[in-house]
Amino acid sequence: MTDHPNASQPSCEAALRLYSQTPYDDRGNFHYTGDYYRQSEPLDELAARIERHISATFPDMRFSVRTEKFAGGRKVKVEILDAPDDLTERDAQNNMIVTVRDQVERFGFTRSNPLQDFFSCSFYSDVALGRAYWSALARRRGQSSPVEATLSLAAFRKRLKAGDRMTLISAPGGHRALGTTRTVTAVRSKDFVFDGRSYMEFPRAANFACDGRLVRIAIGNEYEPDAHLLYEWLPQQIAA
């Protein structure tokens, strides 16, 4: 995937038309060039511009913008971390994703024709609701099993050691490990490992709360925004 050789600055009329408002012509061609598009722009600069723009356009929302390169091109992944609206309903989710994606697409171009199996773009965009959004929604609604966040995720990662034990005392219904105590056998950069070779990924800081004894990890989704895992943490020196 490379920049289109004929890409140029759009007319004023085209600049005002958003990606989702751009129609296919009668031959199945789809042509869109955003008003913020820059030819051959490095991916990190592109992502930084997108993040600044959507943060200014939606000041009441929070985002995470990441990039990915692969054999077929490059991708900008936008995760919605928080928004004032309740996006539980599917239509509300889709409308928000389209609204945000329209702003992201202003930084690129797309040429396609599904009848000819043709597609070319400056970058692929992926906009999604992140798990942090559901955690934030649950906090606004009122969380169950709240934990005072007196120990940060970074501090917890440093203090957690092999030999510590953790008891799962609350979890979504049917969780197979509910009520069991497991021993931490390894702490790695992205996760920690329990005996039996199961592991737990470290969450985002927004999904984590620890008071030094209880550890709450939010795993909410659109069906159960307040879903979480609640552990009792027994460091080795205490457990002994």
What pLDDT digit, counting tens, does each position of 87-103 carry? 999 999 999 999 999 99
Give the number of C-alpha atoms closer than 13 A to the C-alpha of residue 210, restricted to the C-beta side.
23
Q: How many domains does the chain have?
A: 2
Q: pLDDT band at 84, cuts 50/70/90? A: very high
CA distance 123 to 36: 13
- Burial class from Cβ neighbours inside 10 Å (0-12, 13-18, 19+) for residue 7 reads middle
Say if residue 107 is in the same domain as residue 31: yes
**Assigned domain for 2 exists:** no
Domain final residue, candidates 96, 129, 162: 129
Which residue in the block uniquely carries the two structure tokens 């957690």?
A: 160
**Assigned domain for 1 exists:** no
**Assigned domain for 6 exists:** no
pLDDT at site 238: 57
pLDDT at site 108: 97
Say if residue 160 is in the same domain as residue 67: no
Which residue in the block uniquely carries the two structure tokens 């007319």?
A: 11
Backbone angles phi, psi at 46, to 5 degrees: -60, -50
Say if residue 27 is in the same domain as residue 115: yes
Say if residue 167 is in the same domain as residue 215: yes
Say if residue 157 is in the same domain as residue 225: yes
Say if residue 93 is in the same domain as residue 185: no
Domain final residue, candidates 77, 97, 129: 129
Say if residue 122 is in the same domain as residue 23: yes
- Say what percent of the chain tops pLDDT 90: 83
pLDDT at site 143: 87
Say if residue 95 is in the same domain as residue 196: no
**Assigned domain for 5 exists:** no
pLDDT value at 197 more than 90: no
* Structural domain boundaries enclosing 213: 143-239
**Assigned domain for 7 exists:** no
Say if residue 82 is in the same domain as residue 16: yes
CA distance 127 to 177: 33
- Say what percent of the chain tops pLDDT 70: 92
DSSP letters spanning 145-207: S-----S-HHHHHHH--TT-EEEEEE-STT-TTTT-EEEEEEE-SSEEEETTS-EEE---GGG
Per-residue pLDDT tens over the stretch 122-180? 999 999 999 999 999 999 999 899 999 999 999 999 999 999 999 999 999 878 889 99
Say if residue 100 is in the same domain as residue 173: no
Say if residue 122 is in the same domain as residue 215: no
**In this structure, are residues 51 and 65 in contact, taking their beta carbons and an 8 Å threshold?**
yes
**Assigned domain for 4 exists:** no
Q: What is the CATH number of the domain that holds 95?
A: 3.30.70
pLDDT value at 212 more than 80: yes
Per-residue pLDDT tens over the stretch 3-16? 443 344 444 444 47
Say if residue 112 is in the same domain as residue 203: no
| Contacts for 146 with CB less than 8 Å, ≥ 6 apart | 209, 216
**Assigned domain for 224 exists:** yes
**Assigned domain for 137 exists:** no
